[in-house]
């Protein structure tokens, strides 16, 4: 009976060691595989975001090439351009208006 028990314990210990080596030993452990899978998922999410951004920029470039109203909108908003016959209103914040008036008085002296 003791021999049988010893054989069983040896077999159980050998199986445990073999299982540990199979999971944690070798070139890549189970933790390495898990980290690699998480990194792959993260890279795929990054790739999807970049593809969406690329599509958005391509659509914008296409509209600027083919849609005159989009080009006009950029010229008006970004560069402050106006069409002939348009009235341009410049709004100056109240705090900068006082500073500008002071500078004008200095220049007139």
Where helices occur in 1-109 by DSSP H, the ranges are 2-24, 30-66, 68-79, 94-108
Q: What percent of the chain stands above pLDDT 90?
A: 31
Mean pLDDT of 30-40: 91
- What angle do helix axes 30-66 and 2-24 make, rounded to 10 degrees? 20
**What is the C-alpha separation between 15 and 8, in angstroms, rounded?**
10
Cα 20 to Cα 63: distance, rounded to the nearest angstrom: 60
pLDDT of residue 106 exceeding 70, the answer is no
Largest CA distance in the chain: 117
pLDDT, tens digit (0-9, with 9 covering 90-100), for 38-58: 999 999 999 999 999 999 999
Instruction: Give 6-29 pLDDT, tens digit per residue.
Output: 888 888 888 888 877 777 776 778
The token duo for 52 is 């969406």
pTM of structure:
0.50
Q: Enumerate the domain spans of the chain.
A: 29-108
């Amino acid at each position: 009976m003791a021999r049988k028990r010893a054989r069983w314990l040896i077999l159980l210990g050998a199986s445990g060691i073999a299982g540990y080596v199979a999971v944690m030993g070798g070139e890549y452990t189970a933790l390495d595989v898990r980290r690699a899978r998480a990194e792959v998922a993260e890279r795929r999410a990054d790739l999807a975001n970049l593809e969406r951004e690329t599509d958005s920029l391509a659509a914008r470039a296409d509209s600027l090439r083919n849609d005159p109203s989009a080009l006009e909108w950029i010229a008006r908003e970004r560069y402050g351009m106006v069409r002939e016959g348009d009235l341009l209103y410049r709004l100056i914040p109240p705090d900068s208006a006082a500073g500008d008036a002071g500078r004008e008085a200095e220049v007139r002296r």
